[in-house]
Amino acid sequence: MSPDVARTPLHALHLRHGGRMVPFAGYAMPVQYPAGLLKEHLHTRAQAGLFDVSHMGQIRLTPRSGDLDDAARALETLLPIDVLGLKPGRQRYGLLLDGSGGIRDDLMVAHCGDSLFLVVNAANKAADEAYLRAHLSDICEVTVLARALVALQGPGAEEVLARLAPEVAEMRFMDVRMLGLLGTSAIVTRSGYTGEDGFEISVPEDRAEALAEALLSDPAVLPIGLGARDSLRLEAGLCLHGNDIDPGTDPVEAGLSWAIPKVRRRGGARAGGFPGAGRILDALEAGPARRRVGLAPDGPTPVRAGAPLFADETGAAVGQVTSGGFGPSLQAPIAMGYLPAALAAPGTRVFAEVRGKRLAVTVAGLPFVPAGFKRT
């Protein structure tokens, strides 16, 4: 592996647990451990899995005025979401848009009382930091946090984490809390990227290994690599930026309109005022020309990212697969991609080309596997 590949604070732990390291977004990351991708995936759905996501960007926005509403209003100029209405202790999903409404990145925004805490994608974190600094520095101090981030995901996650911090049992989906955890100050959100209940836990870099080993010492917890992280999120119907969403896709066609609340739409109190607003607000009313859909191949052949999609067995391509592989929980191939709106209804039969052959694929509702979030 190239020497300019960065290491997360859990690098030694990955090696100790037999992780097979691969370069990903500039970091050496474990793609799988000795248990293997299938077992790691199924274990996360059945009990709990621990993921190192320290490669992701953690950014704090602190209002220079001391009034968090100032930071919220400033961030709303970049995101089509309701940041002002975000209550202390709550987190929301958001999209950084460019001037034509394309998706620069997707991220989480948490209200931590005196500051906003953002978690952004690893591959975009340098660009996001520069963009936030350029647009928000007058109003906010923009700080990139040197902290580790781990995700504990699965139906057993609450019980495992509550042994270290009982108060996590009171949290519900998309809550954020500052907690004392093994003698250090942790930022804990009840969220994740697997479709399961679970937590993301931010701690100082030098405390990450002790936390991860404490969690892994629980027999319910296995370390999980990037391979299973991808198959879990695909089954959960969650987008991977760079694959399923990117600057060439907008939130409406990506099926992410739910992330744009009424208050930012036409007729709302703070309608528009974000990059690409004209185009996005038009698209919300007119409906998109194409849509992101789930795809279930009729046969056993996996259909992977990049495969062209066809309305029939002879015509020209009408769309493309953006993520695809095998769903271990379904024991069947699954994929996501874009199709013209007229072909996007679940149950519609289309074709995907794999190794020169057109294979029948049925449009499926998302997610493929029901979410296990603790909403109440």
Partner 1 sequence: MRKFTDEHEWLDCAGDVATVGITTHAAEQLGDLVFIELPKVGAKLTKGEAAAVVESVKAASDVYAPVSGEVTEVNEAAVADPSSVGADPQGAGWLYRIRLDDPASLDGLMDEAAYAEFAK
Q: Summarize as ranges the residues that interact with partner 1 (CB under 8 A).
A: 31-32, 36-39, 41, 227-228, 230-231, 300-302, 304, 325-326, 328, 333, 355
For residue 288 the two structure tokens come to 């998109």
Shortest separation between residue 23's beta carbon and partner 1, angstroms:
15
Shortest separation between residue 354's beta carbon and partner 1, angstroms:
8
Shortest separation between residue 305's beta carbon and partner 1, angstroms:
10
Residue nearer to partner 1 on the CB measure, 31 or 210 = 31
Shortest separation between residue 260's beta carbon and partner 1, angstroms:
33
**φ and ψ at 123, to 5 degrees?**
-70, -20
Shortest separation between residue 12's beta carbon and partner 1, angstroms:
23
Distance CA 259, CA 265 (A): 11
Residue nearer to partner 1 on the CB measure, 32 or 191 = 32
Distance CA 315, CA 335 (A): 21
Residue nearer to partner 1 on the CB measure, 275 or 325 = 325
Shortest separation between residue 177's beta carbon and partner 1, angstroms:
34
Residue nearer to partner 1 on the CB measure, 82 or 235 = 235
Shortest separation between residue 294's beta carbon and partner 1, angstroms:
17
Distance CA 63, CA 144 (A): 15
Shortest separation between residue 262's beta carbon and partner 1, angstroms:
39
**Cβ neighbours of residue 314 closer than 8 Å, sequence gap 6 or more:** none
Residue nearer to partner 1 on the CB measure, 201 or 307 = 307
Residue nearer to partner 1 on the CB measure, 236 or 281 = 236
Residue nearer to partner 1 on the CB measure, 31 or 220 = 31
Beta bridge partners, 28, equal 7, 23
Q: Longest C-alpha distance within the chain, in Å?
A: 64
Distance CA 372, CA 236 (A): 10
Measured CA to CA in angstroms, residue 22 lies from 25, 143, 185, 239 at distances of 10, 28, 30, 22
Residue nearer to partner 1 on the CB measure, 229 or 241 = 229
Shortest separation between residue 6's beta carbon and partner 1, angstroms:
22
Residue nearer to partner 1 on the CB measure, 14 or 265 = 14
